[in-house]
Amino acid sequence: MMDSLIPVINKLQDVFGTTGTEIVQLPQIVVVGSQSSGKSSVIETMIGRSILPRGTGIVTRCPLVLQLMYCPLEDENYRSSKNATLDAEEWVEFLHDPNKIYTDMDKVRDEIIRKTNLIAGENKGVSKEPISIKFFSPHLLNLTLVDLPGITKVPIGDQPEDIENQIKELIQDYISNPNSIILAISPANTDIATSESIKFAKDVDPTGARTLAVITKLDLMDAGTDAVDILCGRVIPVKLGIIGVINRSQQDIIDNKSINDAVKDEEAFLKRKYFKLASRNGSVYLGKTLNRLLMCHIKTCLPEIRARINSMTLHYDSLLKSYGDDIFDQSAILLQIITKFSNAYVSTLEGTSHNMLTSELCGGARIFYIFNETFGRTLDSIEPLDGITHMNILTAIRNATGPRSSALFVPEVSFELLVKQQIAQLSEPSLRCIDLVHEEMQRIIKHCDNELQHEMHRFARLHERIVDVVIKLLRSRISSTTSMIENVVAIELAYINTKHPDFVKEEDLIESLMVLLLPHSAENDKHSKDVREFLGFTEKKLSKLNLSMLPDNFLVSEDATEKERVCCGIIAVLIHSYFNIVRQRIKDSIPKAIMYFLVNHVKDNLQSVLVSSLYKQENLKELLIESEDIGAKRKEASEMLEVLRQASEIVGEIREMSLW
């Protein structure tokens, strides 16, 4: 059962390879080495055939995903299903042309070169797009290798100037996958401490936990030297092991020396030169070690792969649903979106939305805040006597008195004139309250956009029209709401009701103000007593008066007569008393007017206005045109979901209980 894990991963590689993206990081062996390090020879020895392109400079210019598949000769069913002849001992398939079978290895090499030039161009540049190749043979161990371009420092010929960085980025992409095993190739006849492949491996795997070092060209070391210290792990700190091999020389290749003969010569050399280490080195041992390591690594990674596939399936399924299905009934779709938007808008106003913000107030809560905090505090900050001096009051009294000079009581016309002037100050904050509520109701549109972001993004034109209709509806209510607010203030200015039960009585003020305001002297005390008697005041009644409404700094001019000084004080207190009454009524009436004429009207009529404005047969085609990228994204999500479902089925072939 363990041996079947590698073919399962190969199937996953094939499935994910069709997407062009690596959405799930699969276990794989990544081969890294410098040019002329013997990397190609190591791979070909494990394959048993010379199929990789050779030459000067960079030959491997894109990742080669090499899937080695064990296929015994007696497995006739499998061989027949792969369209291979029953007597074909081994064959090759390419993922980009799966229906074509290659039995001539020279043609395999030619196809690799052709596809490489097609992907990476013919200027010796590199590409991240992989070429996937399957080898079927009864002589192979199940194994998957990724052969990467050889590390180079200096561009040669027509290679790009940044070729070093291109290759570095490509290698980093593959070896940074935490599920990969790094096969670091280093020649024995160079300083192993400066090996580029080991440096790359250390960057992403500093502990060496997933690095296997391969020391090539053991037979080319200087006379009198050997690689015992290196092979015993005293030089390179890697945990998966260090294996030495011998490559076919260029002369061996020219002489068409077979790989089997090369392996036999390698075995003889190791027994002669490294007798004690021979059983743990060589190409055959390397292949078996890689097979074992990969199977164990796959076993370890399998639960994570399964979880990742399930997670990505849920993600793309949700994404596909968000893009919506193909449109079959335009009328139903349009009505559905209008209804959904209207409900979202109303629920935000009423505070019943499921997607309410927690970082700030919005919708109905913010309107409540505007009424009770912003508007209420603004009105409270207006002083009843703000802008009125004693000279203003005195002048108003004198103007109201005219040629008459000895009237006892306060002229009512002067009080009305001054209190209306103060009441008029309540108009501007009231009108500003409309603007604040209007702005918040426009902000609710944005909140609804977030709640319906998939629909709004999918149908951009419909989104524009919905926003336009709502803004126009809100704007259309400004005039009537403003008119009502102006009328509320105008009503207060139209009639000053001095008989209001909360309004302070004029006669209750006169005596107290005279006592407070007139200079204290025996003569004045006598005069005050005469006034009290005239007005019918008692000491008990006088003690109940509260003159706290009169400002502390309210001083009447010394030029004023005794009666004028009393009248100024009376009018000041009357203005204070009546202004507070009106202010309280305004604080209560303005929010009610705005709610009725603006908020509730929009809430009650929004859906019908949207339907009457947009739900027209001639508008359907225009409004339901999808954004340009939605169709492409829906197709991409659908294809990715199908890939993930296939991957889930492939992983499902392995029974959890059979692995342990």
Rounded to 5 degrees, what are φ and ψ at 65? -90, 105
All residue ranges of the chain with pLDDT < 70 are 1-4, 17-23, 55-58, 75-87, 157, 325-328, 354-359, 401-411, 504-563, 654-660
- How is 86-119 classified by DSSP, letter by letter? TT---EEEETTEEEEEE--HHHHHHHHHHHHHHH
Reported residue count of the chain is 660
- Tokens describing residue 9: 């991963």
How confident is the model at residue 657, as a pLDDT?
Answer: 37
How confident is the model at residue 406, as a pLDDT?
Answer: 47
Contact 201, 211 (CB under 8 A): yes
Question: What is the dotted CATH code of the domain comprising 24-249+262-307?
Answer: 3.40.50.300
CA distance 432 to 452: 31
Domain ranges of the chain: 24-249+262-307, 330-504+549-626, 629-660
How confident is the model at residue 15, as a pLDDT?
Answer: 78
CB atoms within 10 A of CB 414: 22
Sign of CA dihedral 148, 150, 153, 155: negative
Same fold flag, 24-249+262-307 and 330-504+549-626: no
CA distance 22 to 19: 8
How confident is the model at residue 205, as a pLDDT?
Answer: 93
How confident is the model at residue 544, as a pLDDT?
Answer: 41
- What homologous superfamily is domain 330-504+549-626 in, according to CATH? Dynamin, middle domain (1.20.120.1240)
Question: How much is the pTM?
Answer: 0.59
